[in-house]
Structure 1
């Protein structure tokens, strides 16, 4: 037993005993484990989404429809088919409006995907195989044909302990606004 704690024949060039090397190695392992644990803990941190508050003057909050507002189809007052056609074509072919509508649709889809991460996921699989040995009936007794079927069901749910998934869903919700 005392030989374990004394100098090792190969350690004469370092001047350290086996116990000293063991303590040094243990210290490195503990430091590496601690650094890994801290970095994993910090990687799960997220900041809450803060919605900006906008203070509107009171006369905007309670405004009502007035006689000065234009009608929705104001161009029909002129009974001009050319003007009506131009306004409808401009509304139908307006690229800026189409781009904005597509961005809104994409943001809403992102919100749906982000909120789905908070729910369990389910997967199913079915497989089968039929292997023939190719031998005649006399030889087949040693190498029979094999038929296999397997069915699988997977259910998984990621617990949102750090709030990362909720923060992602809140950010996607803010993008959809």
Structure 2
């Protein structure tokens, strides 16, 4: 914590800090300890998460200003996390948006289930559809199909966008 304090002192123009990489909520206890150091300097907090560790999130939710939650479709990760995502969204409530990465293996049914999960909490939660960046045997979905998914989502949600995975386009992990 002393190192964080020193770093904050040397960087006077910090306005937001992002908790990302791997799954930050695996370290929720550490995050809860360091957040007060950011808050006393009016530094906003941004959490980028897979949206499955809702119990850990509930302990810091009031201190997080912005949340980016991924919904990993079962075709991408091999596991269904619908209930976990639903519970997470119920806790998050404010300043949250959801990202869904779609691949050639993504199905209409699982995408619809993801949209229904979001809509069950709040139809105004923004959804970002991200076409996967092709790599190895990972194949992107045809753009026409992505536009169809956007129309499906717009039937239930008020704010739907298609945005590529910029970190990969920029060559950043």
Question: Normalising TM by the smaller chain, what interval?
Answer: under 0.3
Given the two structures, how large is their TM-score scaled by the length of structure 1?
A: 0.17
**Relative contact order higher in (CA < 8 Å, ≥ 6 apart):** 1
* Structure number having the greater helix percentage: 1
Larger radius of gyration: 1
TM-score, normalisation: structure 2: 0.18
Higher strand share: 2
